[in-house]
Amino acid sequence: MNRKNKYQILAVDDSLEMLELLRRNLKSCGYNIITVSSVIDATKVLESTEIDLVITDLQMPQINGIELIKHLKENYKNTGILVITGYPSIKNAVETVKLGAYDYLIKSFTRDELINAVEKSLLTVENQKEKEEENHYQIQIDGIIGNSKAMQAIFKDLLKASRIKTTILLNGETGTGKELVARAIHYNSKESTAPFIPVNCGGIPEALLESELFGYLKGAFTGATETRGGFFQAADGGSIFLDEIHNTSMSMQAKLLRVLQEKEINMIGSNHAQKINVRVIAAANVDLFQLVKKKLFREDLYYRLNIIPISIPPLRERDGDINILIRYFSLKYAKENGLKNPRFTDRVLQILNNYDWPGNVRELENIVHRLVVMSDGSKIDVPDLPVMMRHSIQSHNNLNKSLKEVETEHIQMILAYVGGNKTKASEILGIDRKTLRERLKTIENSLNLIQE
């Protein structure tokens, strides 16, 4: 595919002969070009079409090219400007460059001069966009990106929490970035050079969790052929992140409570306690207090963990962050794979902004990753979206559905999309297989209740 096909050029001149000359020369090079004979018509095109470069005459009746350049710089800062004129003057040249024109051509230019000026201007557009994209992501802390009020509040909370070496409880839906927040707390603390050890409590079988956390002595049980330290010893002096802590048993909760109270651990097979100096950051994607009420989580452990609580908002509550994240992930995966960063059409951005994102940021990242590597390198449009997402958009107008109903429909659509493959479904949803099994069991129970 000719890469020039991805560029949309708008030519503005009151001379029909000049417009035809521009159209013929640029079309023959593979560019897409729209021609109009007035500034008023140009503004209408700009409102409905994404334009990469405007080629404009200066002297035109009613509204001149200078006014169009001003309009472009105020409203379309990433659109390039190439000026052509039959009345050359140093004053005009200086004025147009100051206003933001990339280049200046006199109306006796050759075909080669035109093509070179267009290529140079488009290269400047690309470089400017990439520089802006990279600078845009200063709105982040250690990889957590967001400009919404909700995320700015999180940034403040985590920076405050990092200054105090005490237990922290993170709460948020699956895929909201709890581990990123935990890492940011650790790496902004005085202990940033010490270890940060993440542990997924829900991903380790109960029978192995104690030995993984606290370690064991040689001969402590069958298979213990050597003494081995656990995650707490590895994190000594730093931080340990206990994700999905709600999946631990009552017995394990009692052991963790002792660690927090006494600041010591017992290796399996040892009668001697070891003192440790570890900041515990725990996380849950359910309301722990509700589990306490149901006697499914220890109340004393809950209060020990909940000294500094931080609630991470779901993506649907982060107003304005979706487009920022889309640009960030798109640029990231385009660079990683040596691809040109594709343009997301306004319709696609609208669809992605209206989507419910039950898998939150992780789901968004997975979808953007797939769109970037599977695109032809020019633009992402509605047909490029996953089938299940397009189907979801069609049914999105029903605003009477509960979040639970939307989540159930989404999980069922994903499973249908991947032919029932739970591993692939888990990856798209941004959850582990265990969490998916639990959600499916809940859905199955709900359906059985309806049938009864």
90 pLDDT band, cuts 50/70/90, is: low
- What integer pLDDT is reported at residue 451 of this predicted model? 41
CA 20 from centroid of its chain's CA atoms: 44
Token duo for residue 360: 């939150």
Cα 375 from Cα 324, distance rounded (Å): 20
Q: Sign of the C-alpha dihedral, residues 35, 341, 73, 117?
A: negative
Over residues 34-43, the mean pLDDT reads 92
Q: Is the pLDDT of residue 452 over 50?
A: no
Residues 42 and 92 in one domain: yes
Helix (H) or strand (E) holding 242, with range, is: strand 239-243
User: 20-31 in b/e burial notation, b at 16+ Cβ within 10 A?
Assistant: ebbbebbeeeeb
Q: Reduced to 3 states, what is the DSSP secondary structure of residue 243?
A: strand
The pLDDT value recorded for residue 430 is 78
Nearest Cα to Cα of residue 129 among 75, 79, 68, 71: 79
- Cβ atoms < 10 Å from Cβ of 148: 18
Each residue of 101-113: pLDDT tens digit?
778 888 888 999 9
- Name the residue among 333, 406, 396 with its Cα closest to residue 365: 333
Q: What is the CATH number of the domain that holds 357?
A: 1.10.8.60
Say whether both 13 and 126 belong to one domain: yes
Asked if residue 91 and residue 69 are part of one domain, the reply reads: yes
Q: Mean pLDDT over all residues of the chain?
A: 85
* Residues 265, 164 share a domain: yes
284 and 333 assigned to the same domain: no
Helices and strands of the chain, counted as H and E runs: 19, 16
Of 254, 280, 311, the residue at which a domain comes to its end is 311
What is the C-alpha to C-alpha distance for residues 136 and 346, in angstroms, rounded to an integer? 19
Distance of CA 166 to the CA centre of its chain: 30
pLDDT digits (tens, 9 = 90+) for 193-208: 999 999 999 889 988 9
pLDDT band at 210 (very low <50, low <70, confident <90, very high): very high
Give per-residue burial for 385-399: e unless 16+ CB within 10 Å, then b. bbebbeebbeeeeee
Assigned token pair, 452: 């009864």
What is the domain-level CATH number for residue 80? 3.40.50.2300
Band (pLDDT 50/70/90 cuts) for residue 220 is confident
**Rounded Cα–Cα distance for residues 22 and 11 (Å):** 7
> Under a CB-based contact definition with an 8 Å cutoff, are residues 6 and 379 in contact?
yes
Q: How confident is the model at residue 4 (pLDDT cuts 50, 70, 90)?
A: low
Of 121, 136, 151, the domain-final residue: 136
Asked whether residue 122 falls in the same domain as residue 157, the answer is: no
185 — pLDDT class (breaks 50, 70, 90): very high
pLDDT band at 138 (very low <50, low <70, confident <90, very high): very low
My answer on whether 330 and 422 are in the same domain is yes
Among 322, 366, 334, 364, which residue's Cα sits nearest to residue 134?
A: 334
Same domain, 168 and 299: yes
Give kind and range of the element (H or E) at residue 327.
helix 321-336
What's the domain range around 342?
A: 319-451
pLDDT at 340 over 60: yes
Q: Are residues 14 and 99 in the same domain?
A: yes
Q: Are residues 154 and 261 in the same domain?
A: yes
Q: Domain boundary residue among 311, 328, 362?
A: 311
Q: At 442, which helix (H) or strand (E)?
A: helix 433-451
8 residue type, one letter: Q
Q: How many domains does the chain have?
A: 3
Please check whether residues 47 and 122 belong to one and the same domain.
Answer: yes
Residue 287's pLDDT band (boundaries 50, 70, 90)? Answer: very high
CATH of the domain at 200: 3.40.50.300
What whole-number distance in Å separates Cα of residue 429 and Cα of residue 410?
Answer: 9
pTM over 0.75: no
Q: Are residues 432 and 356 part of one domain? A: yes
Mean pLDDT of 370-383: 84
